[in-house]
Amino acid sequence: MEQSNDSHILDNINQIENQLKHLEKEKENIQESCTHKHGVKIDFDEKRSIKRFCSVCKRELGYATKEEEQNFLKPKG
């Protein structure tokens, strides 16, 4: 009985992983079609580095300049 449950869990995990791969590919296709000409957003990436991102499609465009970093880190208000 327990093996059947384990198999069911594994099937669910595999299905979720396949969906994630499909969605990542769809995201890449959308980002590749974006011109990235409508503004840049400065924010942290997943490794907590300050990067430039397209404000439309959120694609990473590279590291922020020192000036962009300083402006981003300034207290708001």
Q: What share of the chain is helix, strand, coil (3-state, %, to 5)?
A: 50, 20, 30
The tens place of each residue's pLDDT in the chain, 77 residues long, gives 467 888 999 999 999 999 999 999 999 999 999 999 999 999 999 999 999 999 999 999 999 999 999 999 998 77
pLDDT score, position 2: 64
Q: What pTM did the predictor assign?
A: 0.76
Cα–Cα distances (Å) from 14 to 4, 8, 9, 20, 24, in that order, read 15, 10, 9, 10, 15
pLDDT score, position 33: 97
